[in-house]
Structure 1
């Protein structure tokens, strides 16, 4: 009762003239970096997808059934054609095999190959020449995978990693974790198998992820190496002609390699990456229908040339990044008030915005639930102070 009377008395006292009330600062969403994402459905549309301002050259017309070019740093897709079309990947699937298996196999570990480890290799497979009763370092076997596309080396490494079926399951899980949902793994070496498919989108995802793994990047960029054969060794050359400049295919400047492939069912396939100045691009090309055996390299070359010229102007048509999980709300300083007459920021109509919105906190002092309690507490303190002053005055 005393507190209530004091509060009432305080409220009846004349108050000093108040200055002009400060305008409350609006609470705006506080987006994390790079929250504007292009609608992923765009890359599921058939045909070529690209967004260029007027006057900028369009991407080259290619004969490949599917292709994609992206910035390897940001993951922004610059252009694509039938990006999610599911096609046999051939030995480009070895890029996914490496992503799934490299972490569990130390490069300097040694292993003596036994006869049973080389069973089950498909007829007509590309081989590096792994021999039973020969001891190899794991790094030697990986060079056999990347340079010679050796299905025999894949067999041994898969056995060391838990077995053929377990490796396929691990690859499938790795693809899903990277946001690559078009890929179905049946044979980890990329050998034609019923139901085994991937897409230009997924292959580019694997290439981009591989560049972030130092071991993968080193093997993928190796043009020549020695492969052991017991007491001697022989030279092997990378079958990616953009890397070696072999067979009349000019080496691409700044090439970082990655992986090529071929089977009768898949045709020629390729994941390639190159760096020019501060920019790194990754391309994937699947099954060119014109130009012969080396058309896959020339079409990749044309894409890279276009990409380096157009990248500063092209607007993304998609992203190689997996969809972001819901971001947790974090405490942050309230944003500064907008400048007078400032125009609201616009977002392209094709972009999807995902932001973490802070609670409506007035001036940034916390939820409104505490404001009435704070006011009552302050009023009580002020009333008690006034009461003491009056008592002293009466005495």
Structure 2
């Protein structure tokens, strides 16, 4: 569990391995333990292997960019313009969480100052953080993941040393994960000049995040309580595939991750689901269809296609930088989440980062987790936009 006062033995071991210059095997691996060769992922056009017995891609996909990947092996099963640089909206909060979440314990308390809430962009989604009130870090992360609260992001960024410091750290994290399409200007995902990401990078961020129990638990929570003006109030996740709201049914096996919307980005979504022993990630950016809930419907169709391949399709590329390994059996946590309950056992993921091709920078991530043991929160003001 992420904390600024303790670090997992595994993170320490990874840092130690990196320090000695030992490189772990690239991923994904073949069944016999040898490295499986992966084709290069093209930057444009629709890519999927067509062969007898492999389902055809769903029709009606209008998104400017999308990607389907196996979360455990890192294999990219199909994609359209996966490296196209687009505004990410609040899906960029996945990178924010990967960067900041490990630094502070869930029970740490922050009394919110006016400086913490300075600079929230006009029209931002907020969870209702109030100046002068005390919130636990867990409260703030529920505000980020469920309500996409830019006010919660701003408070956490203040704890992390400020808005610009956080943006720089997010940029560094992206590069360490092998995500080279991303430029961070506003950590909450609010539209800002020059801020872009891609379906490929966002899938990498979500995959890395799911290797953290706390990230996986927050992003899988459909409903939770949050401190309100008159006491606790119930907040619902804005991810309609997870909450089963606004005309959408809860997707079978859904385990998160994050949705977003801005006028520049349009609708964006990273969705993860697990069925029949397989976990898939789908990222969909800016559908052009006028169909209601298009981003959710297209993501659901791509998940259906991926599960329908039953492992028969051949990959068209790989998320080479990080491997988030699943450990466990049936998706009991999904059943728990269907009730909207948030429990400590709600995460189906266990931390397991493996260095891969181009992933030597993950040694720095592991070392950073080790150093975070001694790092204290640094309350300070900062400026920035909301998202």
TM-score range, shorter chain: 0.7 to 0.9
Q: Which residue in 2 is equivalent to 1:131? A: 130
| Alpha-carbon distance in 2 for matches of 1:256, 1:209 | 14
Q: Which runs of 5+ in 1 are unaligned?
A: 1-30, 328-395
Q: Which residue of 1 aligns with 2:317?
A: 318
Shift of 1:184: 0.5
Q: 1:60 aligns with which of 53, 58, 61?
A: 58
Q: Give the corresponding residue for 2:200.
A: 201
Q: Please give the secondary structure, in 2, of the residue aligned with 1:159.
A: helix
SS of structure 2 residue aligned to 1:301: helix
Structure 1 CA distance for aligned equivalents of residues 37 and 125 of structure 2: 41
Q: Cα gap change, 1:293/1:176 in structure 2, threshold over 3 Å: closer, same or farther?
A: farther
Whole-Å separation in 1 of the counterparts to 2:126 and 2:166: 19
Partners of 1:203 and 1:232 in 2: CA distance: 36
1:155 CA displacement: 0.2
Q: Given that residues 192 and 265 in structure 1 are in contact (C-alpha distance below 8 angstroms), is that contact kept between their aligned partners in structure 2?
A: yes
* Structure 1, 48-57 or 65-74: larger mean CA deviation: 48-57
Q: Say whether 1:80 aligns with 2:113.
A: no
What is the alpha-carbon distance in structure 2 between the residues aligned to residue 72 and residue 311 of structure 1?
Answer: 14
Residue of structure 1 equivalent to 2:239: 240
Distance, in Å, in 2 between the alignment partners of 1:102 and 1:311 is: 34
CA contact (8 A) 2:95 2:174 kept: yes
| Closer, same or farther: CA 326–223 of 1 in aligned 2, 3 Å | closer
Q: Which structure 2 residues correspond to residues 142-181 of structure 1 after superposition, within 5 A?
A: 142-181=141-180
Q: Is the 8 A contact 2:219 2:256 kept in 1?
A: yes
Aligned with residue 51 of structure 1, among 49, 52, 61 = 49
Distance 1:293 1:112, change over 3 A: farther
Go from structure 1 to structure 2 and tell me whether the alpha carbon gap of 1:153 and 1:308 turns closer, same or farther (over 3 Å shift): same
Is the 8 Å Cα contact of residues 77 and 306 (structure 2) preserved in structure 1? yes
The CA deviation at 1:56 is 2.1
Normalising by structure 1, report the TM-score. Answer: 0.72
Q: Whole-Å Cα distance in 2 between the matches of residues 244 and 116 of structure 1?
A: 33
Tell me whether 1:190 sits opposite 2:189 in the alignment.
yes
Following superposition, the deviation at residue 105 of structure 1 comes to 1.3
Quote the RMSD (CA, aligned, Å). 1.7
Deviations along 1:233-276, one digit per CA (max 9) or x if unpaired, are 21110000000110111110100011000000000000000000
Query: Any idea what the Cα deviations from partners look like across 1:118-139, whole Å, max 9, x if unmatched?
Result: 0100000000000001000000
C-alpha displacement of 1:99: 0.2
| Displacement of 1:54 | 2.2
Q: What whole-Å deviation, never above 9, does each CA across 1:66-114 have from its counterpart, x for those lacking one?
A: 0000000000000000010000000000000000000111110011101
Cα distance in 2 between the residues matched to 1:73 and 1:95 = 18
Unaligned runs of 5+ in 2: 1-29, 322-355, 361-387
- 1:229 to partner: Cα distance: 2.6
C-alpha contact (below 8 Å) 1:268/1:293 kept by paired residues:
no
- Cα offset, 1:53, TM superposition: 2.1
After superposition, give the CA deviation of every residue in 1:208-240 in whole Å (9 maximum; x if it has no partner): 111111000000000111111366121110000
4+ long deviations beyond 6 Å: none
| 1:50 shift after superposition | 1.0
For 2:229 and 2:154, how far apart are their aligned partners in 1?
19
Counterpart residue number, 1:289: 288
Deviation at 1:55, TM superposition (A): 4.0
Partner residue in 1 for 2:260: 261
Contact 1:37-1:318 at 8 Å conserved across structures: no
**Mapped contact 2:320–2:358 kept (Cα < 8 A):** no
> Secondary structure of the equivalent of 1:98?
helix
CA distance in 1, matches of 2:259, 2:185: 19
Aligned equivalent of 1:349 = none
Contact 2:39 2:315 in 1 (8 A): no
Task: Classify the secondary structure of the residue corresponding to 1:165.
Answer: helix
8 Å CA contact retained: 1:178, 1:205: yes
In structure 2, distance between residues paired with 1:60 and 1:109: 46
Cα offset for 1:326? Answer: 10
- Per-residue deviation, 1:325: 5.3
Q: SS of the residue aligned with 1:43?
A: coil
Residue deviations 1:135-163 (CA, integer Å, cap 9, x gap)? 00000000000000000000000010111
